[in-house]
Amino acid sequence: MSDAALGGLSKPGADMVRAMRLLIIEDDREAAEYLVKAFREVGHVADHAGDGEEGLALALDGGYDVLIIDRMLPKLDGLAVIGRLRAKNIATPVLILSALGAVDDRVRGLRSGGDDYLPKPYSFAELLARIEVLARRRAGRGEDTQYRVGDLELDRLSHRVVRGKEEILLQPREFRLLEYLMKHAGQVVTRTMLLENVWDYHFDPQTNVIDVHISRLRSKIDKGFAQPLVHTVRGAGYMIRDGAR
Amino acid sequence: MTALGKLLRTTAFQLTLVYLVVFALFAAFLLGYFALNTRRLINEQIAGIVDSEVQTLTGQYNQAGIRRLVGIVDVRSRRPGSSLYLVTTPTGEGLAGNVGSLEPGILESQGWVETAYRRLEEPESAEHNALVRVTRLPGGIRLLIGRDLDERERMFHIITLAGRWSVALVIVLGLIGGVFVSRRVLKRVDAMSGTAHTIMAGDLTGRLSVTGSGDEFDRLALNLNGMLERIESLMRGLKEVTDNVAHDLKTPLTRLRNRCEAALRMAKSETDYRRVLEETIEESAGLIRTFDALLMIARAESGEVRDGMAEFDVAEVARDVSELYEPLAEDKGVTLEVDASQPAAVNGNRELVSQALANLVDNAIKYATADKANGERSGIVVKADTDKDQVVLTVSDNGPGIPAGDRSRVVDRFVRLEQSRSQPGSGLGLSLVSAVVRLHGGEFKLEDNAPGLRARIALPRAAMPPQRAA
């Protein structure tokens, strides 16, 4: 497997990074401080609120790209914070953190206005990848009919994939996998994100089945081309990007 | 005192009391009615006798005058047990009769009246009561005829006395009976609450005593004992689980700690530290997986996920899961064949059933052996089938299988057979499958695939064919 030259989290593709302003509403001070520090290291700015009321006040002031809200908070419950924000027409993307983590709890979180849901304990890489996707979604990218990364093109209407001059034939699931990767080109996409969005499964399949699917896809996309497009980001997941740029 | 208070507060005693009051009131009413009727009957009898005498005497007077009347009255007055007679002049002077004294004004009245009187021959005796009738005869003569009421009073007295006694008897006997019944009930209930107390204090092996009479207390005791049996077995299960959880979480935690300690002691370079840290993260990910699986099983077993049930197609799940695992199988050189073309609707949680099937397929891939060169038989077959009322999902592999004696054991939590210890896994996969299947009211069995293992899930079939938009 060709590991990307990215080599970890501290140096994400330099040209992609746009500093984000994040608000972390979390009552565990130590965990929050760790997150603030970790986000700063990768070039984002994060504020911290220790309870639901303070968090709501800060979030209402606005100016954040993404809110990270713990499910269980003192004073005002996480879901209530989201509800009040949405009632005031504040559409800032929200990622819910929860120690509950079961299927129905996730559904409840998303139904109450959350945009993504991450059960505790999570890895920072997973959180970061999801936050970046949420921020990007807000920036208005995404629902194009055609995606292009380097010389790879994917047409969502005709379901055709072409690299250079060569058409690549993909199975339906491989197409959806590539589609998701290309939609988030230049961003880290984790294995759970793929499992959730391409397969619609929210459980851990124990063995890393996703890796095998990626390597299959890779053999169809990158084999025989000098410039690989699908990259593995160690400890995090995958990314499709044009390395030549 | 408290014992008495307890007795008085029993439902049985209070019921007895209410019953008693009702019964006593009824008895009193009955006797009162009887007494009143007797009184009326006696009055009527007296009136009949007096009326006929008045008729006779009036007739004699009209025919033969006052002399004759006085004569007859004189004769009749002297008969033993006679009626009361008095004949007077218009001014009230007695002409004949046996009445000594009367209440004043009686002679002025007419018709029926009750009065106290004394007989002429016994002026010293106490006054008696009598019912008398005063008639005015032509010529101003007054005729009084009456009967003594002693008999009536005696009768009335006897009846009221009998009434009082019988009511008193009813109350006393009722109270005794009530106490007896209440004490009996109280004894049984006390025994039961005593046992319940010891059980509450922590001794779950205690059972309520059953007399064998088959009465309602026995039935209650039997049911409560059944409940206790169930609670005890659940508690035993819970204890086993916590023990196992402690073991399966503590072992990797110990490993994790030892590794960090060793690194602190011995690591020389940054590379060494990095390697240990990476191993630590991996180990903690494994721990989280075990923990998640445990929570999932707990939730499935408690039925908590039952809210999220909907109708879905098991054949589709079989195809999807197989598709997810197919590349993994291929990597291992094993063919994964799917046989699930017919829709098979089941009412349940798609996510959980998918996860259960994923566990089975994952297991099958772990243990299946690579296909032989001739490729006569697929390494793994995932099959969804329906019969009249169930949907059967099977995952067959050609691996080493599980010895018949161990097949039911591996479904329990955390059990991993010795020979599979070398394979990675939390040992929870099959227990999760079993919990999910139980949640759906189905049946999970491991069978011999000769060679290999066949995992068979049977779920109740949903009534309607699935209607899914593509």
Domain boundaries defined on chain B: 2-154, 216-300, 303-460
Can you tell me the distance from the alpha carbon of A197 to that of A193, in angstroms, rounded to the nearest whole number?
6
Residue A46 bridge partners (DSSP): A22
Q: Is B61 exposed, middle or buried, given 0-12, 13-18 or 19+ CB atoms closer than 10 A?
A: buried
Domain boundaries, chain A: 21-138, 146-240
Counting one residue from A and one from B, how many pairs have CB atoms under 8 Å apart? Answer: 61
The average pLDDT across B338-342 equals: 87
* A203 contacts B358? CB cut-off 8 A: yes
Q: Work out the minimum CA distance from B10 to partner chain A, whole angstroms.
A: 49
% of residues, chain A, pLDDT over 70: 88
What are the CB-based long-range contacts (under 8 Å, 24+) for A101-107?
A: A101/B292, A101/B295, A102/B295, A102/B296, A102/B299, A102/B305, A103/A202, A103/B305, A103/B308, A103/B349, A103/B351, A103/B352, A104/B305, A104/B307, A104/B308, A105/A71, A106/A202, A107/B308
Asked if the model's pLDDT at residue B50 lies above 70, the reply is yes
B351: nearest CB among A202, A205, A235: A202
- Comparing CB atoms, the residue among A173, A203, A212 nearest residue B351 is A203
Sequence-ordered list of residues with C-beta below 8 angstroms from that of A176, at least 6 positions apart, any chain: A198
Q: What local confidence, expressed as pLDDT, does residue B464 receive?
A: 57
- Can you say whether the dihedral through the CA atoms of B348, B352, B356, B357 is positive or negative? positive
Q: Within 10 Å of residue B159's Cβ, how many Cβ atoms?
A: 18
Alpha carbon distance B32, B255 (integer Å): 95
Is the per-residue pLDDT at B167 higher than 80? yes
Cβ pair B455, B394 in contact under 8 A: yes
Question: What's the mean pLDDT in B63-73?
Answer: 87
| pLDDT score of A139 more than 70 | no
Closest to B210 in 3D by CA, of B190, B188, B193, B231? B188
Residue A197, judged by CB atoms within 10 A of its CB (0-12, 13-18, 19+), counts as middle
Using the predicted structure, report yes or no on whether residue B54 has a pLDDT greater than 70: yes
CB B145 within 8 A of CB B117: no
Q: So what's the pLDDT on residue A7?
A: 39
Q: Are A154 and A184 in contact (CB under 8 A)?
A: no
pTM score of the predicted model: 0.63
Candidates 1.10.510.10, 1.10.10.10, 1.25.10.10, 3.30.460.10; correct CATH number of A146-240?
Answer: 1.10.10.10
Residue A245 has pLDDT above 50, yes or no: no
Task: Give the model's pLDDT for residue A23.
Answer: 93
Tell me how many degrees the CA angle B149-B155-B159 measures, rounded to the nearest 5: 145
CATH class name, domain B2-154? alpha beta
Lowest-confidence segment of B40-49, B71-80, B198-207 by average pLDDT? B198-207
Q: Got the DSSP string for B213-276?
A: S--HHHHHHHHHHHHHHHHHHHHHHHHHHHHHHHHHHHHHHHHHHHHHHHHHHH--SHHHHHHH
Q: Are residues B328 and A207, on separate chains, in Cβ contact within 8 Å?
A: yes
Residue to substitute from B283, B290, B292, interface A, most A β-carbons within 10 A: B292
What does the angle CA B118 – CA B120 – CA B123 come to, to the nearest 5 degrees? 60
Mean pLDDT of chain B: 81
Do the domains at A21-138 and A146-240 have one common CATH topology? no
Burial of A54 (0-12, 13-18, 19+ CB in 10 A): middle
Interhelix angle B216-266/B150-200, nearest 10 degrees: 20
Distance between A61 CA and the closest CA of chain B, angstroms: 37
pLDDT number for residue A11:
41
CB distance B324–A103 less than 8 Å? Answer: no
Question: Which has the higher per-residue pLDDT, B369 or B221?
Answer: B221
The mean-pLDDT minimum among A210-219, B354-363, B393-402, B412-421 falls in: B412-421
Decide: A184 and A144 in contact? Cβ < 8 Å.
Answer: no
pLDDT tens-place string over residues B375-397? 556 688 998 988 888 899 999 88
| Least confident span in A53-62, A97-106, B228-237 | A97-106
Q: Which residues of A touch B (CB under 8 A)?
A: 101-104, 107, 121, 123, 173, 199, 201-207, 209, 212-213, 215-216, 235
Q: Report the CATH number of the B216-300 domain.
A: 1.10.287
pLDDT by residue (tens digit) across A72-86?
A: 888 888 888 999 988
Q: Is the pLDDT of residue A67 over 90?
A: yes
Separation in Å, CA of A206 to nearest CA in chain B: 8
Contact yes or no for B100/B119 (Cβ under 8 A): yes
Mean pLDDT across A211-229: 88
Q: Regarding the domain with residue range A21-138, which homologous superfamily does it belong to in the CATH classification?
A: Response regulator (3.40.50.2300)
Q: What is the pLDDT of residue B36?
A: 86
Considering only CB atoms, which chain A residues are within 8 Å of B366? 207
Contacting residues of B for A202, CB less than 8 Å apart: 351
Paired residues of B130 in beta bridges: B115, B148
The model's confidence at residue B371, banded by pLDDT at 50, 70 and 90, is low
In the prediction, which pLDDT does B342 show?
86
Q: How confident is the model at residue B163 (pLDDT cuts 50, 70, 90)?
A: confident
ipTM of the complex: 0.78
Q: Please name the residues in contact with B40: beta carbons below 8 A apart, sequence gap of 6 or more.
A: none
Question: In terms of C-beta density within 10 A (0-12 exposed, 13-18 middle, 19 or more buried), how is residue A91 classed?
Answer: exposed
Mutation target vs A (from B249, B326, B336, B436; most A CBs, 10 A cutoff): B326
Q: What pLDDT does B66 receive?
A: 86
The whole-angstrom distance between residue A55's C-alpha and the CA centroid of its chain comes to 23
The string of DSSP codes covering B192-215 is HHHHHHHHHTT-TT------SS--
Q: Which percentage of chain B shows pLDDT scores above 90?
A: 4
Please tell me the predicted confidence (pLDDT) of residue A102: 65
What tens digit of pLDDT does each residue of B301-334 get? 766 666 667 888 999 999 999 989 988 888 888 8
Spatial CA neighbour of A97 closest among A187, A204, A209, A22: A22
CATH numeric code, B303-460: 3.30.565.10
Q: What is the pLDDT of residue A178?
A: 93
Does residue B42 register a pLDDT over 80?
yes
Q: What is the pLDDT of residues B421-470, one digit of tens each?
A: 344 455 677 878 888 888 888 888 888 877 788 889 999 988 755 455 44
Taking all residues of chain A, what is their mean pLDDT, rounded to a whole number?
A: 83
Of the partner residues A101, A107, A209, the one whose CB lies closest to the CB of residue B324: A209
Look at residue A6 and tell me whether its pLDDT is greater than 60: no
Q: What pLDDT, on a 0 to 100 scale, did the predictor assign at position B421?
A: 37
Instruction: With CB atoms and an 8 Å threshold, state whether A212 touches B328.
Output: yes
Burial of A220 (0-12, 13-18, 19+ CB in 10 A): middle
